[in-house]
Structure 1
Amino acid sequence: MKKKFLSGNWLKARRRLAKQHECGGDFRCDLFFKLGALPAGEYDVLVPEDLDVQGLIQKGETWKRRLRLYDSSFSELRRILEWEFVKRGKLVLPVPAYNTSRECFQCGEINWNLTFEDRVFRCPHCGFTLDRHLNACLVLLKRSGLVPPAVPVELRPIPPLPSLGLVERGRQGGVMGQEASAFRRG
C-alpha cells in the first residue's frame, strides 16, 4: 500500500518507526549501564583509549565496517563507563590511542608489520610474545603512569551475559525454558 505524504497512514507509519527507534535506543542505553556497572564494581581504575571515532569511520576499509562503526555508539558507552567509575569515586585516566596495539609492552618498540588478523603480538626487537589485546592493555596502563606487574596477576573471563539480566523472557514474563518447581503449596 502506497502512503501519501502527511496522510493518516503515513503519520501512523512514522510514529511506529519512531517508537521502534526509541525502543532500540532505550535497550542500548540499558545494556551500556549494565555493562558499565560490571567493571566499575570490580576495578579501581579505568584507562580508556581516546579513540578518534570519526577518523575510524572515514578510514574504514569497507562501507559495511564504516556503517557498523557509525552505529556503535562509542561515545555513549564511554560516557556511561566514565560516569559509573566517577559515581563510585574511582579513577579515570584517558590515554592517547596511537599505536597501542602495535607497541611492545617490554621494550616500547613498534611492530609495523602487525595486521588486524594477527591475534598474537610478537616483538621483532626483543622477542616478547603475548596476546595482542592483553599487550595493548598493558601498554595503556604503562602510558597512564600506572606500572603494571611484569606478569598479569589476574586472568579471569568476563561473566556471561545471563548474569547481567539480559536473558530472553517469554510472554508470561518468566524466563523461557524454565520448569516448574518440584514442590507444590497446599
Structure 2
Amino acid sequence: MFKFPYGIDANGNTIYDKSKLKEGTMPTRVSDIFEPDDAVADFTISDRMWEGHQRRKERNMANGKGFGYRKFFGDSEYCSTISARYWKDGSEILIDQADKNPRTLSPVEAGRLQGYRIIGNGWKYSECADNQNYNSSNPEFRIVVSKKEAYHQFGNSVAVPVIKRLAQEIVNQLLNKS
C-alpha cells in the first residue's frame, strides 16, 4: 500500500494514481498531530466504554459485519477518516496507550488530522508544526466552540491540504488552457 502525500486515508474508497505522487514526499505518522501527553490525559476512554467497543467488534465480526473500533499507534502511517459522530465514542480512531485503555483524539488533534494548523496546547513533536501540512504559510485556526461541535465540524470537513492541491491544479489547468 502506498501513501497519499497528505497523510490521509479514505479507507480504500478512493484510488490514487501512484505514478502522480511527488518524489520525496515527507512521510507522515499519526503522532505528527499529537498534543503533549498532559494535554490529552482526559481523553482516555473508560473501562466500560473499552469493554463495550471490544464486545461490539467481536459480535459484529461473528455476524459477518465489519463494524468495530479501529486502534492506531503513534508510528502508524495513516488512520481512519474522522466522522461527525466521533464525539460519541471515538471508535473510528482510538490511539493506543500501551499501559492503559486507548484514548480518543482531542479536538485539536482532530483538526490537525484534517489539515488545519491548530497550535492548541503545542505539538508533541515540535518539528511537525512546520511540516508540509502545517507550515507557516497556513493560517492558524483556533477552536472557539465546544468539543462536541468541534468534532462535528472537523468530521464534516474535507482535508484542507487535499483541497489546496486540487485548487492549485484547477488554476494550473485554467492557465494552461488560455
**TMscore range, shorter length:** under 0.3
Rg larger in structure: 1
Query: Scaled by the length of structure 2, what TM-score is found?
Result: 0.27
Query: Scaled by the length of structure 1, what TM-score is found?
Result: 0.26
